[in-house]
Amino acid sequence: MRFIKELVDMGVDLSITPAGGLKVGGLSTLTKVEAERAIRLARNNKEEIVADLKAEMSSSIKVEKNSPEFTAEAVLIRSDVLGEHIWLCKDKEAAAKYYDSGIGVYLLNEVPLLNDKSHEALKLINRVKKIFPGAELTKPVKRITH
């Protein structure tokens, strides 16, 4: 965790790619020397950083099975990253029952699309989910340029 803390303190954004690699972002806000140092630190300690990020991700999601709202079609989850609860639902029909809750509602098929997102991106996505109940994440569409 020490490398993650050091990089985050520098202003670096860390996430895991869908392939399980390390994605380093936020370098444009750093000086050239700081960015080079951050890249070296991330490269030299990649395996440890990825393992720590995975451990942090798995420990930051706690399923509250004893919640009175727990059903077979939906699970109320406490996210330490978001600092709040979310609903994880098996399908659109189940999700529709929770749109009025004021809590972000996610479908199971959306989870893989969240894996490589930074904490800031996850918070933004959750805000959008609450503002637009029923909004679904989709795979990014390639940009067409003329």
pLDDT digits (tens, 9 = 90+) for 24-61: 888 888 899 999 999 999 999 999 988 887 776 554 44
Alpha-carbon distance of 104 to 129, in angstroms, equals 5
Mean pLDDT for 75-88 is 84
Whether 1 has a pLDDT exceeding 90, the answer reads no
Partners of 89 in the β-ladder? 74, 107
Mean pLDDT of the chain: 81
pLDDT of the residue at 70:
46
pLDDT digits (tens, 9 = 90+) for 7-21: 888 888 887 776 778
CA angle 69, 55, 68 (to 5 degrees): 10
Higher pLDDT, 70 or 109: 109
CB atoms inside a 10 Å sphere around CB 88: 20
Distances (CA, A) of 44 to 21, 55, 56: 14, 19, 20
Higher pLDDT, 143 or 125: 125
Q: State the pLDDT confidence band at 83, using cuts at 50, 70 and 90.
A: confident
DSSP H helical ranges for 1-146: 2-10, 32-44, 46-60, 92-96, 111-114, 119-131
Mean pLDDT for 59-76 is 57
Q: State the pLDDT confidence band at 90, using cuts at 50, 70 and 90.
A: confident
Please report how many Cα atoms fall inside a 13 Å half-sphere around the Cα of residue 35, on the Cβ side: 8
